Chain A
Amino acid sequence: MSLQAASDNPNRRSLGGSDLLRLFVTYFMLAVVDAFAVYLIYVFAVDGVIELAITVAVVTIGANIINLRQGLYPLRWIAPALSLMVLMVVYPIVYTVYVSFTNYGDGNLLTKQQVIRILSQETYLPEGGEVYAWTIYANAAGDYALWLTDRDAGDRYYFATLGGFAAVDAVAPGAELPAEYQGYRLLDRRKALQAAVAAEDLVFGGDEIQIGIAGRREAGEFEQRLVYQPEEDAILDRQTDSLYHAEYNYGTDETTGEPYKTGQFINDAGETLRTGFIAGIGTKNFVSFIENDQIRGPLIRIFLWTIGFSFASVVSTFALGLFFALIMQDERIPMLLRKFFRTVLIIPWAIPGLISVAVWRGMLNENLGVISNIIRAFGLEPPPFFIDPGWAKMGILLINLWLGYPYFMLVCSGALAAIPSDMYEAAEVDGANWWRKFRDLTLPMLLVAVGPLLIASFTFNFNNFTIIEAYDEGGPPMRESGNLPAGHTDILISYAFRLAFGAGRGADYGLASAITIVIFVMVAAVTLLQYRFTSGWEETSENV
């Protein structure tokens, strides 16, 4: 342990009044946070979001350990940041990894337990069940109630409101119906007809017995229609007497690209119940990158374009930025003029990206855009920036060049200024021309300094969702992508976003998450490479 750690030793400090106070405040605040966390864990557990309850528990326990163990003093400073990162960054990552191995998406949005609970609420009127004759009543609030007569039991009366069901003891069996009962009034003939129509789909009665209108004269007792059978892991439809087995892995048709019928309750005839559930489907999402024709083709093209787009963006912005920096480096240009040009040239960088892209999009508009008009003024046909895939890509690269060069111009200016001028003088003495000086001296020196930023810029553009989305939402559309929406200018992240949140086919969070994982692995690899590249960075700071 270094000298630094030794000074953390609490014995060195006397426990003065302010220390005691601080200690008290620390524990008090910790206790408040803990109490709140316990409440959250409890309510999340009750809600059935166990994963979130566990995350909060982990964060809380971690925070407590860090704050109570003297040896972990340095981590106390980091604890707030770590807690936030675990909750808002790490947990979503873990969740995304989990989702990538499931069929989570439209049609499969709920857990199996939730689906069973919802399906269990479905009822039907069984044939041969208890049948009553009914008469409709209504109260002042407009709620309906049914007066029921059990013909088989000697005209015994029952009264069913929207929340209750009880036998009527006050009126003798077979006696005339009362005009008013428990605040509900007997309706006249005309109103009763209207009311009957309105009450047709209502379920009367309490928790134990449910009554519904079955016909013009008959009301019947509802029964639960779909019953889950745990031993068979299936749902029995009691109306049709058909057994729906829980299918985790069904109908994998790779040739037609039909969606897998995983996470469905399905019977022997191949019919499914309307609500599917989230099921683990192993690596199927990842395998579908290769096996599903509708995914593989577009995905390869999108992948290549992502790489090409990022690479071209980095090279073009770096080249233009360096070019401007080199020109501005010339000391013979008056200082004030240089300052002016620098200010003007960084403007594109200072404008919110979304706004810039939108403005450019307007300028490139084929019919009305100013650039198209200028081109037309020269007697040429303006390029179809939003229809032709190639031109759309050109448009995006042009916009990204405009957006990105100021950054490299600034960075290169700084790096150029740091190259010692005596090296140039030595080169001049050797008779090197400007090209030799640039190629053998400036560029290598510059790349050492700017290299990591080039890599960072590459990873940034790799996930540059804003420009793609704001330009044309990935369009023009790729025809061969079928019902999976893909566009010619889509990069991986915008494609995944479209799969997850796009309209059309419906959300497929599982597939989108799988693509996200692939993106993450690639970007993380590049970042690690960059970290290696810049390990000198950390070492210099170590010595400060």
Chain B
Amino acid sequence: MSETARKRKNSSPVHNLRLTLQISILTAAAIFAVFPIIWVVSAALNPAQSMVTQSIIPPLPEVRVVYANAPGTLLQIASPNGTRVERSAELVLLVEVDGDEKELRAIKNGYVENIRLSVGDSFAEGDALYDISSSYFINFDTLLNTPRKPYLRWLVNSCIIASISAVIIVMITALSAYSFSRFRFQGRRSLLVLILLVQVFPNLLALVAIYLMLQQIGNHIPFLGLNTAGGLILVYIGGGMGINIWLMKGFFDSVPRDIDESALVDGASHWQVYWHLIFPLVRPVLVVVGILSFVGTYNEFVLARVMLRDKDTWTLMVGLWQYISANFAQDWGVFAAGAIIGALPSLAIYLMLQDQIVGGLTQGAVKG
């Protein structure tokens, strides 16, 4: 587009209109993109625990006890310091919610600011029931403090499994990629195609074989068996070879060969060339591939669900899946809180590295 043409276009009212239209479309698209996220954040902050959210920012009810009937006694309190009410059977409270009178039964998640609840306590008129300052985070609190569902444990498991897998995948595939990129040997092409083909086998359905194999291995090498992080890492590494070899080979190919050829002529070994010349050059790419492997492993849940039986060994996605399958509507707020924390690592990675990732993608596309 020439300078004059652009100037002419910029001044034209028709094109100003077009610009406005374009920005409106993009704004609509942005709303489409973030709407579910806004909504899930709103659900996570909604202390009402319900799926019904009338407004984006949930109103915090100011609840005051107006009348507590005689058997309004607590039977069970979850936390030892007595501030958290998990189950309060027979607790019937007539409360004032934003001016309206309401009867509350068996409050599921309640905080009491001023009074410390203990078994046998009853309520007095005018007692504040919810701790306003912390109740926006009630769902997060429930999420992190439910021993039956050790969310933090799952998060840690996921991070450990994904990091170890990513590091090993990058180390091993970088070696292979160097070979495929730098050596010319018989059967090289066939091997590459074979790797590509083998990789498209849906390993989801090789599950039976993988499951039985891990079971057998676990009989003799306990830390690589079923129900262990080691076994799952083994599965992820094995499955992560093919596609990453291809990806890395592409990056290695883009490093000019003159560099290593002159070094080889000077008597350097291939290992020296790889370690001192090529590796520093491709390191940024390796980091990106490693991070993408991390995210891929972190997000995987089917294999993890089948291989990990004990709640303590679960990964985050397996744990979150439990929230989805059972009582989805009831646990909605807690699930939303878990989803937000669970999505943060990969969201942060993508947004921080978007230029590199986009660069890698478009490079591949343009090259094609």
A interface with B by C-beta (< 8 Å): 1-5, 7-8, 12-13, 39-40, 43-44, 47, 49, 52, 73-78, 80-82, 84-85, 87-93, 95-96, 99, 104, 324, 327-328, 330, 332-333, 337, 341-356, 358-363, 365, 368-370, 373, 402, 406-407, 410-411, 413-415, 417-418, 421, 424-425, 428, 448-453, 459, 463, 465-466, 469-470, 493, 496-497, 500-501, 509, 512-513, 515-516, 519-520, 523-524, 527-528, 531, 534, 536-538, 540-541, 544
Whether the Cβ atoms of A348 and B33 lie closer than 8 Å is: yes
Pick from A362, A424, A459: contact of B1, CB under 8 Å: A424
Task: Flag if A40 contacts B202 (CB, 8 Å).
Answer: no
Number of B interface residues at 8 Å Cβ cutoff, please give it: 118
Would you call B203 and A89 a contact (CB within 8 A)?
yes
**Which residues of A have CB within 8 Å of B328?**
361-362
Give the distance in Å from the alpha carbon of A470 to the alpha carbon of B180 in the complex: 38
- Establish whether residues B267 and A5, one from each chain, have CB atoms under 8 Å apart when the complex forms: no
- CB of B39 within 8 A of CB of A370, answer yes
In the complex, identify which listed stretch (B81-89, B106-114, B204-212) lies at the interface while the others stay far away. B204-212
Least CB separation from B349: chain A residue: A350
Contact with A along B241-266 (1 / 0, CB 8 A): 11001000110011011000100110
B176 x A77 contact (CB < 8 A):
yes
Contacts of B179 in A (CB 8 A): 74-78
Instruction: Write the residues of chain B forming the contact surface with A, with a CB cutoff of 8 angstroms.
Output: 1-2, 5, 9-10, 15, 19, 22-23, 25-26, 29-30, 32-34, 36-37, 39-40, 43, 50-54, 172-173, 175-176, 178-185, 188-189, 191-193, 195-210, 212-213, 216, 219-220, 234-235, 237-239, 241-242, 245, 249-250, 253-254, 256-257, 261, 264-265, 267, 269-270, 298-299, 301-302, 306, 317, 320-321, 323-324, 328-329, 332, 335-336, 339, 342-343, 346-347, 349-351, 354, 357-358, 361-368
- Residues in A with CB closer than 8 Å to B364 are 453
A349 to B301, CA, bound (A): 17
Say yes or no: A78-B264 contact (C-beta < 8 A), given A92-B210, A356-B36, A411-B361.
no
Question: In the assembled complex, how far is the CB of residue A386 from the closest CB belonging to chain B, in whole angstroms?
Answer: 11
Q: Are B2 and A333 in contact (CB under 8 A)?
A: no
Main SS at interface, chain B = helix
- Contact A361 to B202, CB < 8 A, known contacts A88-B239, A92-B213, A354-B299: no
**In the assembled complex, which residues on chain A have CB atoms less than 8 Å from the CB atom of B19?**
330, 332-333
A-B contact pairs, 20 of them (CB 8 A): A47-B216, A81-B245, A82-B176, A332-B10, A341-B30, A346-B354, A352-B342, A355-B320, A359-B339, A363-B39, A411-B362, A414-B361, A414-B366, A449-B365, A465-B302, A466-B302, A497-B205, A501-B306, A534-B368, A544-B253
A405 to chain B, nearest CB (A): 9
Q: How far is the CB of A80 from chain B (nearest CB, A)?
A: 5
User: In the assembled complex, which residues on chain A have CB atoms less than 8 Å from the CB atom of B269?
Assistant: 13
How close is A76's CB to chain B, nearest CB, in angstroms? 8
* A interface: dominant SS: helix
CB distance from B358 to the nearest CB of A (A): 5
Cβ of A78 and Cβ of B39 under 8 Å apart?
A: no
In contact, A95 and B206 (Cβ under 8 angstroms): yes
Q: Are A362 and B173 interface neighbours, CB within 8 A?
A: no
> B314 to chain A: closest CB distance in Å?
13
Interface pair A414/B39, CB less than 8 Å apart: no
Shortest beta-carbon distance from A167 to chain B in Å: 40
Chain B positions within 8 Å of A5 at CB level: 183-185
Closest CB-CB distance, B285 to chain A, in whole Å?
Answer: 15
Interchain CB contact under 8 A, B343 and A355: yes
Contacting pair A527 B196 (CB below 8 A)? yes
Instruction: Report how far A152 CA is from B140 CA in the complex, Å.
Output: 77
Contact status of A509 and B208, CB under 8 A, knowing A359-B339, A469-B302, A523-B202: yes
Residue contact A493 to B202, C-beta cutoff 8 Å? yes
Known pairs A4-B264, A333-B22. 14 more at Cβ < 8 A? A87-B238, A89-B201, A89-B239, A92-B206, A95-B209, A333-B23, A342-B354, A354-B301, A362-B329, A369-B51, A459-B200, A500-B207, A527-B197, A544-B253
**Contact residues in B for A2 (Cβ distance below 8 Å):** 184
Alpha-carbon distance between A512 and B207 when the two chains are bound, in angstroms? 11
Complex contact B200–A520 (CB within 8 A): yes
Find the residue from B178, B185, B195, B357 having the highest chain A CB count within 10 A: B185
- Residue in B202, B245, B250, B329 whose beta carbon sits within 8 Å of that of A520 in the complex: B202
Q: A78-B180, A368-B50 known; A84 and B342 CB under 8 Å?
A: no
A118→B354 CA distance, assembly (Å): 59
Of B32, B205, B209, the contact of A519 (CB 8 Å cutoff): B205
CB atoms of A359 and B39 under 8 A apart: yes
Interface pair B51/A500, CB less than 8 Å apart: no
Write the chain B residue with the least CB distance to A542.
B253
A345 to B35, CA, bound (A): 11
A83 → chain B closest CB, angstroms: 9
CA distance A417 to B366 in the complex (A): 9
Contacts of A537 in B (CB 8 A): 367-368
- In the complex with contacts A74-B179, A355-B343, A415-B242 CB distance below 8 A: no
C-alpha spacing A528/B198, complex, angstroms: 11
Which of A82, A324, A406, A415 has a CB less than 8 Å from the CB of B365?
A: A415
Given contacts A343-B354, A470-B324, contact A85 B242 (CB under 8 A): yes
Q: Distance in Å from the Cβ of B274 to the closest Cβ of chain A?
A: 8
With A358-B335, A528-B197 as given contacts, are A410 and B358 in contact (CB-CB < 8 Å)? yes
Are A52 and B216 within 8 A (Cβ)?
yes
CA distance A509 to B306 in the complex (A): 15
Q: Which residue of B lies closest to A509 (CB)?
A: B208
A512, B208: Cα distance in complex, Å: 10
Q: How far is the CA of A78 from the CA of B174 in the complex (A)?
A: 9
Which of chain A's residues has its CB closest to B265's CB?
Answer: A7
B196 touches A344 (CB 8 A): no
CA distance A373 to B235 in the complex (A): 43
Partner of A96, one of B205, B235, B264: B205
Distance between A289 CB and nearest chain B CB, rounded to angstroms: 16
Q: Chain A nearest CB: distance from B264 CB in Å? A: 5
Q: Are A541 and B250 in contact (CB under 8 A)?
A: yes
Which among B51, B208, B261 has the highest number of chain A CB atoms within 10 Å? B208
**In the assembly, what is the distance between CA of A44 and CA of B50, in Å?**
53
Q: Quote the shortest CB–CB distance from A149 to chain B (angstroms).
A: 45
Q: Which listed residue (B200, B241, B253, B302) contacts A541, Cβ 8 A? A: B253
